[in-house]
Structure 1
Amino acid sequence: MTHRDRARGCLLGLAAGDALGAPAENLTPEEITRRWGRLTEIEGGGTDDTEYAIFAASLLVRHGHGLSAADVADAYRSEIIPLVTGPMRGAGFSELGTIQALRRGLTPPLTGLVHSHGWSDGLAMRAAPYGIFCPGDPAEAARLAEQDGLVSGSGEGILGGRAVAAGVAAAMGGAGPAAVADAALAAVPSDSWTARNLARAREALPGPAQELGRRLHEAVVIRHYPWTDIAPEAVALAFAAFLAGDGEVEASVTFGVGLGRDADTIGAIAGALSGASRGEGGVPARWKARIGPATGKCLPVVAGRHVLDVADELARGL
């Protein structure tokens, strides 16, 4: 399997998981079951997850391994902020806080520290391109993702992005599901919330499949917090879905979005990991047919870009 095939599978999987999970965002597994039984078909488009991943890929195409937090901040100032004339539809708390910080003249890492949402999964949802760009090199993928994360996040939010980038890089290098999860754990401190949740989610996997969702929620979900975009939670659930599906795209993504919570981001991460593992041919044809160019509803700068073209650009830059 070529790097291009894996790259295309990765971003197709991300976009498909994002779109499939979008209607289930913030719902419980019980409510998802009541409404759909099991979500298997893409009805609408994706969310900010796909658009921010496309934007991250554009930074890599321009700057490569020399990408810095300053480069990312400059791109926000020149390409995102001038086009934000009203509300950023669907944007996460961390990105909204970053826009405000940059408008005030702050620079990284303060832009990711001054708001109270540094732990969000905003980096994790868009970290896959860094893994694509560093096939077989999880440490470098995590380092590059952190440069992006310093602009909009801090602490566990950055660690979640490091874990996803490292996992995708391992998958791009041909690692199996267990080794992909090992790479994610190796990219974050062992005493971090992210590492503990990844380990807890992995430990919850053995046992009857019908109880798996409940066990995973008990292991990592923060029930008393009103929002669901918590990086250590979403990243752990996404890796659990990837492992539960044994790296197969449809099994991983459908299980992931069925977990609810930040379902579009969980689906996007599970789709990126499994797509990098199985390649473009591993993404169901019916899902691929539903993935069109980005609408730019959150980030106008990426309007009209298709994830397959973006994947090809990243693969050429390897």
Structure 2
Amino acid sequence: MLSRTEFISDKERVFDKVYGALIGIAIGDSFGDAARMADNRANYQVTTDFNKGSSWSTDDTEFALLTAKTIIRCHGQLTTEECVKSWMEDVVSQDEYKRGGASEVEAAQNLRKGIRPPFSGKYNTFHQSDGACMRIGPIGILCAGDPIKASEYARIESEISHFRDGVWGAQAVAVAVAVAMVDGTIEEILDSAMAVIPEESWLYRNLTEAYRILEKHEGSLLDAWMELHDELRTSAWATTAEALPSSFICLKAVNDNFRKGVIVASNFGRDADTIGAIAGAILGAKYGAHNIPENWIEKTRFPSGTCLQFTKGIDIKDYAEKITDIILKG
């Protein structure tokens, strides 16, 4: 694993990793959304590529771009005030959110009432959702090689809409991405993520059980598949304690390249776009954009503004270039 100093010594490598992780979120999000669609299931059962009818993006990518926009505007000096400013400008200002996550919608309502973090996340019926996990990838990108900073910045960003497991899950994803950016092994990535999750949490319990089940089946995801679903299933599928272990267990079992890992994670079912987005962020950070199929990058490079209107027409490559500059200057 590289130190941060070693990592930033090569500008080309930094950009490749930043772009890989950022576009990886979009690819995993879009791929997972396509994989769970009824038509794709009827036609293919397992989705292995984008077809002509595939559409994107969902709230996962667009809220991640909100996080990225905040990072860019504040030059990487993240604070609660900067996060609130972004939400007021680009979330609260909207009258409605097509496909918006319930945790984010309720957070916006709290902000309208004058409730600020951490209470805007704590006073939220959906504070244990996976909404913060899906959008936190840019924090890990910014904090490449610095998991302590990644965890702290993830807490700051996620508290606007989440509490307890919702925040801890976001911290785990940010740390995983930060370690993946500097060539951490899958074991180092997942162990670092586990280290920031309190042992008494529901999330820790489910992750531990998921790893136990996979080990029982000698690392075979195929053999563990149905037992994992039975163990992790919650009444609401967008729950951190279900979605994050689902993504991490797919990564633990299948991680030798971006394409294969994203296909597996995105076809896991349930909240597949978030499961895919998390996997895409980590694998994109680990392997870089040059190891991602070019047609997948071009398919997802320009958001549609499905949920957050400001994202329509953004070039994710341009955002990656701006975040690269911040990392190199930092």
> What TM-score does the superposition give when structure 2 sets the normalisation length?
0.88
* CA–CA distance in structure 2, aligned partners of residues 238 and 219 of structure 1: 14
Does the 8 Å CA contact 2:17/2:289 hold for their aligned counterparts? yes
Bigger shift: 162-171 or 5-14?
5-14
Q: How do 1:184-199 residues align onto structure 2 when only pairs under 5 Å count?
A: 184-199=193-208
Does the 8 Å CA contact 1:293/1:307 hold for their aligned counterparts? yes
Which residue matches 1:219? 231
Does the 8 Å CA contact 2:302/2:313 hold for their aligned counterparts? yes
Which residue matches 1:39? 47
Amino acid at match of 2:143: C
CA RMSD, 1 decimal: 1.9
**Secondary structure, aligned partner of 1:146:** helix
* CA–CA distance in structure 2, aligned partners of residues 317 and 203 of structure 1: 40
Match status 1:294 vs 2:303: yes
Name the CA shift for 1:228/1:35 in 2 (closer, same or farther; >3 Å).
Answer: farther
Match status 1:102 vs 2:114: no
* CA–CA distance in structure 1, aligned partners of residues 57 and 89 of structure 2: 24
Does the 8 Å CA contact 1:10/1:272 hold for their aligned counterparts? yes
Amino acid at match of 1:148: E
**Secondary structure, aligned partner of 2:48:** coil
Q: How do 1:133-282 residues align onto structure 2 when only pairs under 5 Å count?
A: 133-206=142-215, 207=217, 208-222=220-234, 225=235, 227-282=236-291
Provide Cα deviations, 1:23-54, integer angstroms capped at 9, x if missing partner.
Answer: 34598xxx976552211112221211111111
* CA–CA distance in structure 1, aligned partners of residues 248 and 320 of structure 2: 22
Amino acid at match of 1:296: G
Name the CA shift for 1:157/1:209 in 2 (closer, same or farther; >3 Å).
Answer: closer
1:5 to 16, 26, 32: 16
**Secondary structure, aligned partner of 1:298:** coil
The unaligned stretches of length 5 or more in structure 2 are 1-11
Does the 8 Å CA contact 1:26/1:263 hold for their aligned counterparts? no
- Percent sequence identity over aligned pairs: 31
Which residue matches 2:60? 49
Bigger shift: 71-80 or 202-211?
202-211
Amino acid at match of 2:279: A
1:88 to 67, 77, 97: 97
Name the CA shift for 1:98/1:163 in 2 (closer, same or farther; >3 Å).
Answer: same
Does the 8 Å CA contact 1:204/1:219 hold for their aligned counterparts? no
Q: How far off its partner does 1:261 sit?
A: 0.6
Name the CA shift for 1:104/1:247 in 2 (closer, same or farther; >3 Å).
Answer: farther
Does the 8 Å CA contact 2:35/2:46 hold for their aligned counterparts? no
Name the CA shift for 1:215/1:33 in 2 (closer, same or farther; >3 Å).
Answer: farther
Q: How far off its partner does 1:283 sit?
A: 1.2
Q: How far off its partner does 1:209 sit?
A: 4.0
The unaligned stretches of length 5 or more in structure 1 are none
Bigger shift: 270-279 or 108-117?
108-117
**Secondary structure, aligned partner of 1:204:** helix
* CA–CA distance in structure 2, aligned partners of residues 200 and 54 of structure 1: 32
Amino acid at match of 2:25: L
**Secondary structure, aligned partner of 1:152:** coil
* CA–CA distance in structure 2, aligned partners of residues 229 and 25 of structure 1: 14
Count how many residue pairs are aligned between Structure 1 and Structure 2: 310
**Secondary structure, aligned partner of 2:64:** helix
Provide Cα deviations, 1:155-202, integer angstroms capped at 9, x if missing partner.
Answer: 111111000000000000110111100111012212222222222222
Does the 8 Å CA contact 1:247/1:274 hold for their aligned counterparts? no
Name the CA shift for 1:37/1:78 in 2 (closer, same or farther; >3 Å).
Answer: closer
Provide Cα deviations, 1:111-160, integer angstroms capped at 9, x if missing partner.
Answer: 11222100011110011101100111112111111111111111111111
Provide Cα deviations, 1:36-74, integer angstroms capped at 9, x if missing partner.
Answer: 221111222121111111110111122245312222112
* CA–CA distance in structure 1, aligned partners of residues 299 and 250 of structure 2: 22
**Secondary structure, aligned partner of 1:123:** helix
Match status 1:315 vs 2:324: yes
Which residue matches 1:22? 33
Does the 8 Å CA contact 2:66/2:86 hold for their aligned counterparts? no
* CA–CA distance in structure 2, aligned partners of residues 249 and 203 of structure 1: 25
Amino acid at match of 1:92: G
* CA–CA distance in structure 1, aligned partners of residues 69 and 256 of structure 2: 27
Does the 8 Å CA contact 1:19/1:45 hold for their aligned counterparts? yes
